[in-house]
Each structure stands twice: as C-alpha cells, then as structure tokens.
Chains A and B, each alone.
Chain A
Amino acid sequence: MAQNAKVPFNGTKAQADELEKVLKGLKNVEGALMPALQQAQDIYGYLPIEVQEVIADRLGVSLAEVFGVATFYSQFTLTPKGKYKIGVCLGTACYVKGSGEIYAELQKQLGIESGITDDLVYSLDATRCIGCCGLAPVMTVNDDVYGKLTKDQIAGILAKYKA
C-alpha cells in the first residue's frame, strides 16, 4: 500500500501502554476482537499492521483473522487520516439533493480522489447517512457538520481549516 509507505508507524509508549490496558480488560470477553479493534483505532487513529500484531498476540487469534476483520468493516482504516477528516454524506437523502457534486468539488479542490493529501492535512471519505438528512446535503470536518451545502461554499469551508 503506497500510502502506508508514506507514513512510517510511530506509535508512542503511552499509546502502547493504553492498548495493553484495553486488551487486558478484554481478555475474557466473548467476541472481543471488534471492541479491541475499535478501541485501538481510537488510540492510534488507524490500525497499522504493528497494532494488529499486538492485538492478535494478546487475544490469541491469528493475524490473518485480525486482518480479515479489520478489512471487512468500512469503519476500520489501515492508513492514517488527515489532521482534518472530511466526510461527505452519500446517503440517499443527501445524494438526491446533489451531494455527489459536493464530493466531486472537494476532490477537485483537494486534488485527491479519496484518502489523504500529500501534506497529511486533509483526508476525504464518502460516508453513509450520518443522520442529519434534514440538512442534506451534508459534509463533516472532524466533528463539525455543514448542512444545506452548495458547491460554491466549499472553498470558504476549507479555508477555515488550515495546516
């Protein structure tokens, strides 16, 4: 994966300790793998192979199984996200109100199809319904939600989030 090569894994000791703590707590829980991956992603922001190895080892399952689950679910990401995570809702309500065009505009302005920009500042994803259908079309930047969007608002929104 080209994008992995771009960003070498540099987890901190604090992150590693936190992960160990989480995994200890999940030792005897039935069906622990999903919660483990979810909390690991909360800690690191993504699931690099190094983290998957630790999870496999501590939970006593094979790395193949961990990788299989991590790649099955779209919420899990094996590559890091940008400082500003941009999501465009492509749920039905947003789509019929033109969110496809919003997405295309963001692709154009950020110069990426999806994934992360070279300077690691922005990442772009198409998301499923985030439950603000009343505000369609909707995009999110980290925890901020922007609704009732039109194409010409995009540049102004991006300008608020600078490296």
Chain B
Amino acid sequence: MSRHRNVRSMNYSDEYDGYDDVYGHSVEDDYCMSPSEAAFMYDREGKSKQKMGAFFQTVTDIAEENEGELESKENSLSEVDRARLESCIEQIKQTIGSSVPRQDLVNILLMYNFNIEKSINFILDNPQYKDVKLPEKKDKVPVLSKDSEVSSVKVVTPGPKTTNVTKGFDLAQKEANRLNVTPRSQSPASGRGTPINIQPSSEQNDDVKNFKQKDNKTDVVTQYKKERGGSKEHLYMVVIGHVDAGKSTLMGHLLCSLGQVNQKTMHKYEQESRKLGKQSFMYAWVLDETGEERNRGITMDVGKSQFETDTKLVTLLDAPGHKDFIPNMISGAGQADVALLVVDATRGEFETGFDYGGQTREHALLVRSLGVSQLAVAINKLDTVSWSQERFNEITQKLKVFLKQAGFKENDVAFVPCSGLTGQNLVEKPTENELLTWYNGPCLINVIDNFRSPDRPISKPFRHSINDIFKGTGSGFCVSGRIETGSLSTGDRVLVCPSKELATVKALAIEEVSQQIAFAGDQVSVTLSGIEMQNVSIGYILCDPQNPVQVASKFQARIVVFNVTVPITKGFPVVIHHQSLVEPAVISKLISQLNKSTGEVIKKHPRCLGNNSSAMVEIQVSRPIALEVYSDCKELGRIMIRVGGVTIAAGLITKVILSTN
C-alpha cells in the first residue's frame, strides 16, 4: 500500500490495515527482556491477535465529533468570526436573495470556512434549495463558469465593495497575527481554521487575481493531468540503513553508471579522495558534499539527487546512518514515498546493524511509522562474502520476519543482492559468475522502477512543510520542502504557520527548474516575498490562507511505545519530530492506557507507560506549532517521540487543544 493511495475514495480498512500493523505488533517479540522486567509488562498477550480495530475506532470517533460540532457553533464564535459571518451572509443575500434560512446559511458558511463561493455553489447544487436562483442578469457569475472574469468577481468575494464592512475585523486580525495566538485559536468552536484575510486596500487587485487562481484550483485535477500526464511519474525514495552500510557509495555508483555524474567530476573525486586516504569513499562523495562529511567519511545530512528509470523520475534522498543524525534522517524520510534499505552483508556487520540499538531496525521502524509502506532491501557488499547465496538467504530470512512485524506487507518488500563498490547488479545484469549461478532476478534499477507511484492528494487544501531555508539567486529568499497536499502556483499568497504571517510566492522551482505550478508530492523551492527570512524556521508550514492549518502548543495523541529503558510518566521531557520540525516537549498527561488491538481503555490515568503499550496522552510543546489532526491530514498528523537519541514512540494527533486564556 502506498503512502497516498486511496485518498479520495478513502477506504478505511485498507488504509489502516498496514498502518495498524506497526502499532499492533510493534516489535516486542524481538526485544529481549529479562524475566523480571517481563513480569511488569502490560498487555503482553495483545500481540498475537492484533487487528486494525484500534486505529479505525479512534479515527471514526473523531469524524463523528467534528460533525456534531457544527450545530450551535455560531454562539461560540469569536467576535471576529461573527463579524465575518455577518458580512458573508450579507454578500450571499446580495447574490441569491434571502430565500435560504439564516441558520442554514450559517451552517453552510461554517462548513466551507466562510468561503462564499463554495457556499453558494453548495446552495445552488442542493435540491433542498431548488427555488434559489441566481439573478437573471448575472449569468456570467464566476461561481458557475470555470473561466471567471475579473469584473464579476466582486459578487462572490470580499471585493472592494465590502471591504468597509469587514475592515473592523481585518484590523483586529492583523494585529492578532503579530502574536502567536489569534482570536481564532482562542475561540473554542473553531476546531477548523477559519480563513485569515488580510486585505489592505492597496493589495485588493492582488486579491482579485488570487481569487481567479483559486477558481482554477477547483480544476486542479485536470491541470495536474495536463501538466504531468505526458511525463514520467515522479517518485521520492529515501535510502536508509545502518552507518557504513554503503548507502552513499551505492547511490553514488548508481548515479555514475546512469551517467548523472560526468567523468571529469568522478576523476576529480577519485584523485582527491585518494589524497585523503579515503579512496573507498570516492562514490560516496557524489552525495557527501560537505568538507566534514568527506573528511570523516560519514553522511551527516540528507543528500539529494535525481535519476530516471524506464517509467519513473526518481529523486533520491540519501539519509545519514549514524545514530546522532537520525533527526536529519527523519526529515528526509518524511518527504519520501518509498524507501530503499541498505544492509551490509559482511559477516558481523549485518548483525551489528540489526541488533537492538542498530539503525537497520530503528530506520525501518521510523519510515514505516512515517507512512512509507513500500520497501526495497539492497543486500550490499556481497563481494565481501564471495557472493554467497547462503549469506544472502540468511539475511533475507531474518529481515523478512522483522519487517513483517514492523508492519510491511510481504508483497511490498523486495530483496536484491548487489555491491555498491564494484557496481554489481546495479543497472545491468550481474557479470560475477558466483552470483550468476544462483541469481537471475532484477537488478537494483529495475526494483526501483517497480515501485508503485502513490496517488497525490492534490485536491486537498494546500500544505507545504519547510525543510530548508536559504538565499536564492534573486531577491527574496527560498524555502524548500514537500507539498504535502494541494497545489501551489506562482503569485499565490500563502500563510506561514505557526507565526501566521502572509507571504507571496514569487517563484517556484523543482530541482532548480522553474515552474508555474507544483502539486502534492513535489519537493519544491518556493521563493517568498513579503516576509522576513528571520521570521521563518525549519518545520514551519505554508498553507492556504483560506483554509489554514491549526496552530497550538498542546495536543492529544494516541501513541504506541516502542522499547523504552525507563517507563514514560507524566512530566517526561521528550523531543517531538513533526515533519521537519524538531521541538522539545513534555508528556503533560497520561490520559488512558489502551488495549493495543482493540483500542479499548484499559486504565484511566495510568501512573506510567512501559514497553509496547499504547496510550492516549497529552503533549505540551514549548511553543506553538502548526499541526493537523491525523484524520484530517495524515501527512501533518504524525509525530515521532524521541528521548536521549532513541525513538521511544510514534503517535497520531487525535485532538488539538487550543489555549483558552
């Protein structure tokens, strides 16, 4: 099952099936523990009959809650929102008359987050309001026609005519944006974001243009087909594995064989690495570019490069394997669709990486918890064991068992023997006789080509997580990262969260090639203007101002505890990873301990959480962060919890707690 499949026609059982496996089984069978410890372990029997029920249940619960919330929302709106509501109702009445009951209008508007256009569309499409007609003269109203004309836009948008009405709250809003807490986040009812609309009169023209673009976005699927239909599918692949497994060498050699690195450069690397006495790292230098990395022969941050297979355009993310750089690895893995796990077949080395505390294990668990479900395993350095089939089988068997427990489906995992240093079985059939005697499967490049490209959630509201901030060539500065959902065009205005500042997209580029539009799944560099570079940090989210993400410093999450040396109590200081964001946080409350398979509450307010338990907890972050509930947006609803350099739990955000003061 791929990361983004089934988004539109979401089928819960399918979607959660694979996922729950991670949580359901986790890896307890493998973690050795002393008998005395085992006696205090909760819930040991849960492991054998894991079912997807657990997650399924919480998630449906959440959906129901949200629906119920709609009624009587009006009363609990903040003043700002109420003012906005009034002005929207006013405008709708101007457009379609007042035949729709006010209460209905309120609900519809809230449902569409004050988006007048969508609300009107809803009313017009709904048989319940069949008497409602657009006034005769205005048959060119943009609501109905795809190619709207700017002249009529004012009918449905807070155009110049209504600015006076809305000015009051606009100002208030603007001021509130300076602070981290807006009136919106104080209003208890606004479970979902309301649009943030800052429209100083000088920028009104801009806004009108924007609305035209927004209009086009309803047609984003068509546009996606038009833009991308003809070209190869884009795939993002993260390369993971224990330190020194040969990830960078393997990828460097692959790029070289595919002609992505020119001979002159390669020759230079060979010469220079020899000078340092590190000639065996010459291929790794393709991806390890900083001086530190080259001197030490260790990848420290994710290296990025691109190559093509028969049917795909692959962006590879070469993650560092060293334990201390797992935060970087997580930010890379968070942007990937699929993963390539590299293991060192050398005797003793595979074992080190696969032991407890080895990164073969932690990386695999992490990518699975981050939503990656397809995995290829490169059994590397087979040259060091004279291409022994026995060794290959031994490793494959061990990994199969583990990966299944980690939540990967057997069909979604492929194994391929290779050597990154000698280049065997990378892009061509092997030439090594010892290997040929027993292997006639695909080579690495074919395995990569066989990955299924995930569906991209392009029609959801726009979200982009910032992974890097740097100076571009021209004016302004760039932020790069992955578009998690939706699409983005040049000229769009975006809201930067959690600081809630507006910015304008000056330019877009994918792999240094400039673009007019980019879609979910793409890793883009966005040139921003209208905002200071210092006011943006890694881990911030860019989103659609009409449909912003939530911002909070406290939330509830359902977590599954992996292997911990000491139990988790309330007050436990942890580090949370949310997309590229790394923030210190505290587990502020243990709400309940859950049965791992059924999701049932076993104990309220447990004193502590031990190995392999599952629980609902409250987490307090040191400052507000941008986030989403998992059921609304999977990409922004996942967190990893780490302590002292070890991943102790993975969680799904179930509820955002807005501060009330």
The yes or no verdict on A and B being binding partners is: no
Chain A interface residues (CB < 8 Å from chain B): none
On B, residues with C-beta under 8 Å from A are none
